[in-house]
Amino acid sequence: MTMVSAPTTDALYLLHEGTQYQSYQFLGSHVEERDSVKGINFAVWAPNAKQVNVSGSFNGWDGSNHKMSMSGGVWTLFVPELEEGTLYKYEIVTLDDECYLKSDPYAFHTELRPGTASIVTSLEGYEWQDEEWLATKTSNQFLQQPLLIYEVHLGSWKRKEDGSFYTYLELADELVDYVLERGYTHIELMPLEEHPLDASWGYQVTSYFSVTSRFGSPKDFMQFVDRCHQKGIGVIMDWVPAHFCKDAHGLTRFDGTPLYEYADSRKGENPTWGTQIFDYGKPEVLSFLISNALFWMDVYHIDGLRVDAVYSILTLNFDREEEDRITNEFGGDENLEGIAFLQKLNAVVFSRYPNALMMAEDSSSYPGVTASVEHGGLGFNYKWNLGFTWNTLEYMKKNQAERCEAEDQLTNSLLGAWDENYILPYAHDEVVHDTKSLLGKMSGDDNWQRFANLRVLYAYMIGHPGKKLLFMGNEFGQMDDWNSESALPWNLLAFEEHQQFASFVTHMNHFYVGEKALWELDHDASGFEPIGEEDKSDGLVMFIRKAENEDEHLIMICNFKTEKHEGYRLGVMKPGSYQEVFNSDKAEYGGSGVVNDTTLLSEENACQGRSYSIMLNIPPLAAVAVKYIPQEG
């Protein structure tokens, strides 16, 4: 990556057109040499300021002798003999002669909180070792490949004995190997852009181009990503273009006027989160946001972005009271500028990174989220299926007597499984704020039933069409809500039932990754076939998952009731032999040990609309996967 010097006329033109997609190369602070003198060039967009000065550790935080000059709305200043590591801010003098300090919107590094100064930092010079990973990625890699994501909040995955954070370099050793051993294909990192408050989890950003200093330096983070790639693990980052926080040193009223946010407070403020909303109609804001998305891919080799709070970008009235509602020029409540931004974002990202993962965290029913921009869609390649998440968890809270009449709540997601390219997430939002952990949500008379319920739910998710995501701690049965201010309760692994559950999740993950039938046709309804869906009285949800080669198919049988079924007759697609290849009721997982350990031979005995059938045992509160064994020759 090569940074350029002061902005050229062409660069400024593109910035003001909303098509400057590498604005970080000239805005911000950059080490450079002029007339054989090394120094730092500063550049900041602040078109409505009366004056901007550079204030920092080098001038006693008095910018009066380091005044910047303005051209095309961008203020610049070259300061000779300054070096990397210099702390600085911009001293903004408003048209009303107010004066305050702002962090650099394009800073590559910032002070550790509670400090808020920007730090002059070069991102050049890191020698990447992930060429093999980059070479093996293709534009269709993930639609027809397994995608199993481990969502992580780095600040609370583990903590040291004194309560301090693990560093990027320490996590590169410990976390990456943990994820690899447990069968995940990707790590998704909760927001890493610099933010002022640990308790915000990173969703209220102040410095979009700064990887948080809580865990180390920018090059330390490069090494973390590099290590992931060398081990065959992809990296997705939670990205927050929907809003930014109001902290005084951040983007809010940056030059004394609403610059990054909408000027109309009805559009420019999110009443629920107490944050500002980006002005998606302003070209320079589009250049800022799209440059930022590309920056994480250009500089840090990030494989994709989970775009947070898409619904709030799509509508003008997200969480707004009825009396405060506003409309667009056509009388609707769609944010037409927000929609256009998302389409432009995805079009630009995929034009440069056709193999990127762009995932919409969207709770709305907006159509075509994963349809191409050319066909009127938003252009993402995945959407979180939050309806699946909420409905399955509500079903699992129900007791046995209630489940038969509520089965549609569990299975309705199968009817629309191909409306979008979906990810099925059991994410951090499901285990916080007194909502209980996933294990805590399970109904049951005792711990055995609760663990069994969670095993069958996870297996149902693995069998259900769509890619998968699981938040940290849920892989070993965390019992309490997630607490972002302390480490996960790793001590639970001292107890046998949690050890057994962790072993189940690891085996389930590897089973999923190894079976083409569970992911090769995720995006195609031809890869799925229901069985016995008309009977809602037995607690069974059964279906066939197929690979492109139809001989490579699996039958998933999920029993959501406590009654086991001995000698159950099951209709099958083809005559021949079948074998149980996965069973969540194994004794080693803490189950009751009802398994099918012999080959299951089909009979010409019609059942469930199929000419052939097999007989098997179905354990209580468990899932069984049966695989067709093609005849040799």
- Alpha helices for 464-548 (secondary structure H): 496-514
As a whole number of angstroms, the distance between CA 74 and CA 23 comes to: 12
Among the listed residues 188, 194, 284, 361, the single catalytic one is: 361
In Å, how far from its chain's centre is CA 572?
A: 37
As a whole number of angstroms, the distance between CA 515 and CA 24 comes to: 43
| Contact assessment for residue 382 and residue 467, using Cβ atoms and an 8 Å cutoff | yes
DSSP 30-85: EEEEETTEEEEEEEEE-TT-SEEEEEETTTTT-GGGSB-EEETTEEEEEEET--TT
* Residue written as token pair 């050049």: 124
Active site residue 308: yes
> Which residues in 156-180 are b (16+ Cβ under 10 Å) and which e?
bbbbeeeeebbbbbbbbeebbebbe
Q: The tokens of 570 are what?
A: 């099951």
Question: Which of 353, 109, 328 lies closest to 220 in space, CA to CA?
Answer: 109
| Contact assessment for residue 580 and residue 565, using Cβ atoms and an 8 Å cutoff | no
- Alpha helices for 142-216 (secondary structure H): 154-157, 168-181
Active site residue 361: yes
Q: The tokens of 402 are what?
A: 């209630």
Say how many C-beta atoms besides its own lie within 10 A of residue 293's C-beta: 24
Among the listed residues 308, 407, 515, 522, the single catalytic one is: 308
Say how many C-beta atoms besides its own lie within 10 A of residue 132's C-beta: 10
The reply to whether omega before 114 is within 30° of 0 (cis) is: yes
As a whole number of angstroms, the distance between CA 283 and CA 16 comes to: 6
As a whole number of angstroms, the distance between CA 447 and CA 496 comes to: 12
How many angstroms separate the Cα of 442 from the Cα of each of 344, 406, 426, 469, 537? 42, 15, 14, 19, 20
CA dihedral 571, 575, 579, 581 (to 10 degrees): -70
Phi and psi of 611, rounded to 5°?
Answer: -75, -20
| Contact assessment for residue 515 and residue 535, using Cβ atoms and an 8 Å cutoff | no
Q: The tokens of 219 are what?
A: 């090059």
As a whole number of angstroms, the distance between CA 356 and CA 305 comes to: 8
DSSP 197-232: -GGGTT-S-SEEEEE-GGG--HHHHHHHHHHHHHTT
Catalytic residues, which ones? Answer: 308, 361
